[in-house]
A and B are shown apart, each in its own frame.
Chain A
């Protein structure tokens, strides 16, 4: 594996880990790129302020760099990073008296729900990376930018009546990619 002209989107997490271990700078950049949003989202889900979240972010990737050799299962890189980040967040919260770690079961339940949402969002994000640029664009325009079929049709030079079917096909591909990474997809109709 070389770092030049690599299509990292097609490279699995485990392969990125192996490339990191072999000392490829490009692999480390990819690992940070691939998991930075995940780490940051976990920090924010713990309601850390921006400064603390930034500190946790730095500390997490420092530890990943130092301890990647201890990871036994390369496919488990994401849960490993998730666990590491959560532990660092809790350490940060414990250190800050202003915001103690929630010990109320309801608050813990809420935190768990937020973490599941973060994991889900990351899985969808990763699955999106495997789609074609055309699919990513049309899904982004409709679901993220709230653009209408007429607007999308004008921009992509497509009849507006065909946009919905194209989006459905792209969602089908997204679902397959998502299930390949995370097991069964969310409840019906959830994109």
Chain B
């Protein structure tokens, strides 16, 4: 991976990194970007709702979600690269420690993906609030934010499941699945 901090790249640069032959960054980083964009749209909707007494508070929360999500773009790429390296090294690892080494590396990637899923669900909840109570002119953007957030949450939850290899029997797997269900429910409530 060429970039040290994907979030510091221009949009074109980030897309070039995503499109490159290098396996990381990949879908987890893309999901983190989508959550950050959803949070930014929510923040805009809140800021454009001067008659809404909770607007500033919602804008502050949206910004917090964005700020906690942006570092996950790089974190996911790092975790994914580490898990790929662990898988590649597995052949040289003694049989008795192999499964544990692989599981540890994949769990790191699952943790980052779970953070993305949680942030995505939060962005969806906030999008619903803005659509319901913010200025009507921002409803379309709020709905778009919910769609982005829900899609990103679904992607992140799938990554958690893939990395844990244990599905919902691991509490992180069930937490990620719950995030995906919550985000989908919110988006359904908001309609298309």
A residues touching B (Cβ–Cβ < 8 Å)? Answer: 142-143, 146, 148-151, 160-161, 163-165, 167-172, 175, 188-191
Candidates A148, A149, A163, A189; contact of B56 at CB < 8 Å: A189
**Hey, which chain A residues are within 8 Å of B88, CB to CB?**
none
Query: In the complex, are the beta carbons of B121 and A164 less than 8 A apart?
Result: no
**Hey, which chain B residues are within 8 Å of A171, CB to CB?**
56-57, 60
Judged by a CB distance under 8 angstroms, whether B179 is at the interface is yes
A161-B128 contact, Cβ under 8 Å, with A143-B64, A188-B59, A190-B60: yes
**Hey, which chain B residues are within 8 Å of A151, CB to CB?**
118
**Hey, which chain A residues are within 8 Å of B140, CB to CB?**
none
| A171 to B119 CA separation, bound complex (whole angstroms) | 20
| A149 to B63 CA separation, bound complex (whole angstroms) | 15
Query: In the complex, are the beta carbons of B121 and A149 less than 8 A apart?
Result: yes
Candidates A143, A160, A168, A175; contact of B58 at CB < 8 Å: A168
B115 closest partner in A (C-beta): A146
How distant is A127 from chain B, measured CB to nearest CB, in Å? 14
Candidates B59, B128, B182; contact of A150 at CB < 8 Å: B182
Query: In the complex, are the beta carbons of A161 and B56 less than 8 A apart?
Result: no
**Contacts of B41-63 to chain A: CB distance below 8 A:** 43, 46-47, 53-54, 56-61, 63
**Hey, which chain B residues are within 8 Å of A142, CB to CB?**
61, 64
| A149 to B123 CA separation, bound complex (whole angstroms) | 10
How distant is B63 from chain A, measured CB to nearest CB, in Å? 6
Query: In the complex, are the beta carbons of B56 and A188 less than 8 A apart?
Result: yes
Candidates B58, B63, B182; contact of A164 at CB < 8 Å: B58
B118 closest partner in A (C-beta): A148
Query: In the complex, are the beta carbons of B59 and A189 less than 8 A apart?
Result: yes
- Render B115-130 as a binary contact track against A, CB cut-off 8 A, 1 for contact: 0001101100110110
Query: In the complex, are the beta carbons of B57 and A169 less than 8 A apart?
Result: yes
Query: In the complex, are the beta carbons of B61 and A168 less than 8 A apart?
Result: yes
How distant is B179 from chain A, measured CB to nearest CB, in Å? 7
